[in-house]
């Protein structure tokens, strides 16, 4: 599992969001409201974040429900 990295170390525009605006893709809880030490995982496709407790499957290669959906935007 991964912890949310320090915003200063992020490279992409999507990853540059600060911790205050990062929300869980599943439960929509803000990162700043998380329990200290709570594990988060990053979608390998869209690079957005979710609590590890909110997702199922392989956390090393997590792909969110939005990225795996068959429905086109």
State pLDDT tens for residues 5-32: 544 333 444 444 457 789 999 999 999 9
Q: How much helix, strand and coil, in percent to the nearest 5, is found in the chain?
A: 25, 10, 60
State the greatest distance between any 2 C-alpha atoms of the chain, in Å, as a whole number.
Answer: 36
More confident residue, 66 or 72: 66
Q: Enter the CATH code of domain 7-66.
A: 3.30.40.10
- The confidence band for 47, taking pLDDT boundaries of 50, 70 and 90, is very high
- Averaged pLDDT score across all residues of the chain: 79
Task: Give the closest residue to 46 by CA, choosing from 17, 3, 20.
Answer: 17
Say how far apart CA 42 and CA 23 lie, in whole Å: 11
């Amino acid at each position: 599992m991964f912890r949310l990295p320090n915003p200063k170390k992020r490279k992409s525009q999507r990853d540059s969001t600060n911790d205050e605006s990062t929300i869980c893709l599943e439960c929509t809880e803000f990162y700043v409201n998380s329990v200290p030490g709570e594990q988060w995982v990053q979608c390998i496709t869209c690079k957005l974040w979710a609590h590890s407790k909110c997702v199922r499957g392989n956390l090393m290669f997590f792909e969110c429900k939005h990225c795996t959906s068959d429905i086109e935007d």
